[in-house]
Structure 1
Amino acid sequence: MTTALHETAEAQACCAPLVAAPISPADADALARTLKALADPARLRLLSLVAAHDGGEACVCDLTDPVGLSQPTVSHHLKVLVDAGLLTRDKRGVWAYYALVPDTLDSVAAALGTQLRS
């Protein structure tokens, strides 16, 4: 086999064609923002605490002691989670209540599973 033919055969062997659509640039950006919001132990704990509360919602005042952070720090983490679309915020008088956005974590898991299986 000549060198050129040999190199072409090697390229074809290692460069398999795509069999599924890869994640789009826009979807990759959105998923990365969500994963970045989740990639913090305090935020993961806050999501868990909100989900574990009666009715699936919690006031910021219920979350500071369990995570051992100051109220401004907890509020910052909650804002990041709201901005990422993982939590909703409902202001009631002077208190803010947070709840999980339904099916958001399932959607993140599904997106990861789809991309990793592709």
Structure 2
Amino acid sequence: MTAMSLHDTSRKRAGLKLTVRGRRVLAALLLAPVGLGIGIGVAQMPAAFAGDDAVAQGAHEQFEMHTVLAGESLWDIAGGIAGSSDVRDVVAEIMRLNGLSDASLQAGQQLALPNL
């Protein structure tokens, strides 16, 4: 009669072992969706600008620079360049061009003025 062991210690379980080629294949499979997403994003860039006439024609917004004098207000400046335009619209345009949240100015401040 032979003795039989319940635990076979001669065989060891081996973990998952990847070769260099296997690691490269796994990395390629994991990175493929990222590369695909970037490629699609880059391919769509021209279409994003297609509807913008200024970009399509290469036109740039034209403006002049003005240095604010002591005691000068935004309304004074807008009134001087408004011509036949509504001064309120010119004030709004100056604020938009310069990223201003309100109409307060400081002496020496540089302002971009629209060409009307």
Q: Same fold (TM over 0.5)?
A: no
Q: Higher strand fraction: Structure 1 or Structure 2? A: 1
Which of the two has higher C-alpha Rg?
A: 2
For normalisation by structure 2, the TM-score amounts to: 0.29
TM-score by length of 1: 0.29
More helix by share: 1
